[in-house]
Amino acid sequence: MSCFKLPDNLCDDLTSMIRQFWWGQRKNEKKLAWVSWEWLCQSKENGGMGFRDLKSFNKALLAKQWWRLLSNTQSLFSRVFKAKYFPDCDFTEASIGHHPSFAWRSIMSAQSVVKKGVRWRVGNGRSIQIWTDEWLPSLSYPRILSPAQVQWANAKVCDLIVEDRGEWNLAVVKHLFNPMEADLVMSIPLSQRLQADRVVWEGYKKWEIFG
């Protein structure tokens, strides 16, 4: 399940077996299900039994493979898949392509899950698009919403940084963004070393620490 997407019919059959076992059903006899399976799949903290939704669990495991591709770009696993399936773009822009292997089709099925949780952690700003990437340190407000001026439409975060001083260009930040966004941008600490940007997961608790 961590490498391949199981067919939906197989997941349904396995779930049916688990449900029958849980309610003590044998062969063709029918047992009353006192609560819905969806309820039993909720966590114990929420009143359920913590059973796995197999389709969601499968997708979560495949999303971990996506995260490996995204966060460890120098690994052999990442370099091989990039060279074969998306040599001219980054991981979030990759497509299923032509004649994909079953492993790649399986991993691609979880791409949307990863996209929802990916955030950028600013280093030198050279890998982050100002207007399309999610890089603000706010769970509810991660992307710039201020309209982009024509000359800044394809700008990157590095264009907002005074590199020789390792600090934000306050005049540019306040000019381009609304006050709330400007405050969020200026709250992001910059390392004097201006290391490479990194991807982090939504809810990451160390936005203020780099390196």
Cα 65 to Cα 62: distance, rounded to the nearest angstrom: 5
How many Cβ atoms from other residues are within 10 Å of residue 90's Cβ? 13
Q: Are residues 105 and 122 in the same domain?
A: no
How many Cβ atoms from other residues are within 10 Å of residue 116's Cβ? 10
pLDDT of 97 reads 83
Cα 203 to Cα 207: distance, rounded to the nearest angstrom: 9
Q: Is residue 160 domain-resident?
A: yes
Q: Is residue 19 domain-resident?
A: yes
Q: Give me the domain span that covers residue 11.
A: 1-25+51-109
DSSP H/E element including 25: none
pLDDT of 203 reads 56
| Residues in CB range of 82: below 8 A, 6 or more apart | 69, 73, 91
Cα 140 to Cα 53: distance, rounded to the nearest angstrom: 27
From 163, 128, 154, select the one nearest 143 (Cα to Cα).
128
pTM reported for the whole predicted model: 0.71
Q: Are residues 104 and 159 in the same domain?
A: no
Residue 210: is its pLDDT beyond 50?
no
pLDDT of 205 reads 53
Give per-residue pLDDT as tens, 105-160. 999 999 888 888 888 889 999 989 999 888 998 877 888 999 988 899 889 999 99
Residue 93: both structure tokens together: 């822009």
Q: Are residues 149 and 101 in the same domain?
A: no
